[in-house]
Amino acid sequence: MYTERQKKVDRGATKVYKFMSLCIIPLFVCLFQFGRIVGHFRVFAVWCGKNNNLGYILSGIRFYKMSGTGNDFILIDNMDGSLKTNINELAANICRRRFSVGADGLIVLEPSDKADFRWRFHNSDGGEAEMCGNGSRCAARFAHKLGIAGPKLSFETMAGIIEAEVFESGEVKIRLTKPFDLRRNLNIDVSEGAGVVTHINTGVPHTVELVADIDSVDVEKRGADIRYHQIFKPAGTNANFAQVIDERNILVRTYERGVEGETLACGTGMVASAMVAALEGKVSSPVTVKTRGGDTLTVYFDRDGESFTNVYLQGEAAFVYQGEVMENV
């Protein structure tokens, strides 16, 4: 029997349904649309607002943080040209540790008519560099993940066209440009003592000193002395210290130009160190290089006397997180 109590319950349910239909649901729809409008406004504000002092809110600029065996980078997709700012200043600010995102460098991807994309690489001091081995591996995996390029790709750098292959494992193998400016047996005298070094450019200038005990080297002090040594002026050099373990394995520590300190890894420095060790007859390709951070990279090359060709660097390029810059950096 349909009782009076059941009738009251049904009438109450009907009123609740009408209230939801007329008030609550439209309210949620309005809030959703408002959120979309605000989001578009924020992106528009980023596109419009800029000045020479970076005095604008960078809200809406997405970035990824990546690590190439301990070398950490901030990566931004600017294939649509929406990033309207001085990238030198942006790099110096956004790479500041403790005050901003923090990284060894900033990588910005832009369109290219010569390759899948063009990159702009800036060290943490804001200065633009020709090349970065670990940064290249991160850029390649980043471009592949975002659909900018396939697993086999190429991109334009100040050092030339870099070819890369991205593997499902997360490792990336890059082919570097042909090394040049080889200068062997350079005698240097710095505050930490005299030494014999070799200089070679693997996309950026590197100086390598082979040492017996890598842990005994004051990389910050000796590295800085070599980096600013007069024989490498005006461009300066990166300073690498390499210890040979056996014919296939070496340890490397690097003082990086532009970072102005020791980093946990330096891809082009690992390549330079492996080649210098090969010149001294201590290793042969492929060479496994253990970084200060404890990870390993593999260096491949063909050698004919003092000439190197088919130079490759392979190792992991890892995504750490993605985010959005929300305020002045």
Q: Is 30 a catalytic residue?
A: no
* Tokens (6 digits) for 140: 């390649």
Element (H, E) at 219: helix 219-227
Q: What is the dihedral of CA 121, 127, 61, 107, to 10 degrees?
A: 10
Catalytic residue among 23, 48, 132, 138: 132
Q: Is 132 a catalytic residue?
A: yes
Closest by CA position to 264, among listed 296, 305, 303: 296
Q: What is the dihedral of CA 156, 157, 159, 162, to 10 degrees?
A: -50
Alpha carbon distance 117, 74 (integer Å): 17
Alpha carbon distance 138, 66 (integer Å): 7
Q: Look at residue 196 and give its three-state secondary structure.
A: strand
User: What is the DSSP secondary structure assignment for residue 230, as one 8-state letter?
Assistant: G
Active site residues per annotation: 132, 266
